[in-house]
Amino acid sequence: MTRIGADVKFTDGASLLGDDPIQTLVALSDLGFEGVLVRTLDEAFPALDRGAITEFSEEAARREMFVQVGLGKVNPYMTAELPRVRDLGGGSYLTGMERMIDICAEHGWTEAWTATGGYKHELPAPFCFDRFRTDVEWPLQLEATARFLRLLTPSLRAAGVRINLETHEEITTFEILRLIEDIGSDVLGVCLDPANLPVRGELIGDAVRRVAPYVNMTHLRDAVLVRTEAGLARFLTPVGRGFIDWSELLGCVLAARPDLDLVIEAIGGSRAEMLLQPDDPGWRDAHPDMNDADAAALHALAADFDDLVATGRAPCLASLRSSPPRAADYRQFLTESRSALMTQVAGRSGAESRD
């Protein structure tokens, strides 16, 4: 049976839904969610207090909610941005990660989230993406990431925990699959965020088919592409309010893993505009797996934006660029996405029963 949960970011133990992890869990349960992806474990429990973590785990079990967790990131060129993980390891970032892996194993949380970079909101494109750092080229970052993942592998195998790379805004599915081939699918998989795929010049349907056999976690939300003077802009929208074909996407990932728990990643206060420039030679050179057909298809999606707005499926550009109250907007994003996703899941169940 497909269950639907929500990804929640924490800051020093608090979230937009509650002052602590248990309050957050209760709020999600009241909204009808069946699980939570805690992103990340150290942000929800800054001291990794085992008593507090156990209390949270027991409350989730009492409410029959599944739990997934996020760990620190795995690109050594940006882990200095996460000093608490190193502090938790007594000066060793690796040891801090291993501590969190052990906690995951203790509670049966066997699928864990991670990513290879972080978006720098204060920087202009393309330097807001770690892919375009000027101090180290992206291929060298991928090599360092692979080395760090190899260091983590013994702990992951011993604990029976798999770490799942998000299809984040700095990395392509081609690159993720190469890392999985190198490290091993028993310890490395995919957290699918379909709305990020166009940011790296990928078509959602093609990319989802590539990674479907390795998808163990999700960050689901919709997206639109809009033509701007600088290029194409990607905006996030609730599930069902963008261009993603959810019937096709769910059919693909659930065929590969029928028991997959689906997790929605909401956003509040903005729609995370991100620039892609498929016509810029330098930008294209940074995406060697992309081809002209991909670029043409992305432009076609942007050309469809006005039709999406006219039919009421997508918000207008002014709405996408507005800044509504963050907490209320976040809840609305969650509930609207849950409703749309439930309709899709129910439709699949009905079709399967008729077959």
pTM: 0.97
pLDDT at 59 over 90: yes
pLDDT at 354: 63
Q: Is residue 236's pLDDT more than 90? A: yes
CA atoms within 13 A on the CB side of 61: 9
pLDDT above 90 (res 130): yes
Mean pLDDT for the chain overall = 97
Q: What tens digit of pLDDT does each residue of 13-57 get?
A: 999 999 999 999 999 999 999 999 999 999 999 999 999 999 999
For the segment 246-271, the average pLDDT, to the nearest whole number, is: 97
- Tell me the pLDDT tens digit for each residue of 278-299: 999 999 999 999 999 999 999 9
Kindly state the average pLDDT of the residues 119-129. 95
Q: Is the pLDDT of residue 353 over 80?
A: no
> All domains of the chain, ordered by start, with CATH?
4-349 (3.20.20.150)
- Give the C-alpha separation, 160 to 202, whole Å: 32
pLDDT reported for residue 347: 87
* Residue 64 and residue 107 in contact, taking contact as beta carbons nearer than 8 Å: no
pLDDT at 349 over 90: no
For 86-123, b/e burial (b = at least 16 CB within 10 A) is: bebbeeebbebbbbbbebbbebebebbbbbbbbbeeee
Return the amino acid letter for 233: A
Residue 355: which pLDDT band, with cuts at 50, 70 and 90? low
What is the mean predicted confidence (pLDDT) over 238-267? 97
pLDDT at 333 over 90: yes
CA dihedral 92, 97, 102, 105 (to 10 degrees): -170
| Rounded Cα–Cα distance for residues 237 and 222 (Å) | 5
On the question of pLDDT at 352 being above 80, the answer is no
> Cα separation of 64 and 33, whole Å?
10
Does pLDDT of 327 surpass 80? yes
In this prediction, residue 194 has a pLDDT band, given cuts at 50, 70 and 90, of very high
pLDDT tens sequence across 145-192: 999 999 999 999 999 999 999 999 999 999 999 999 999 999 999 999
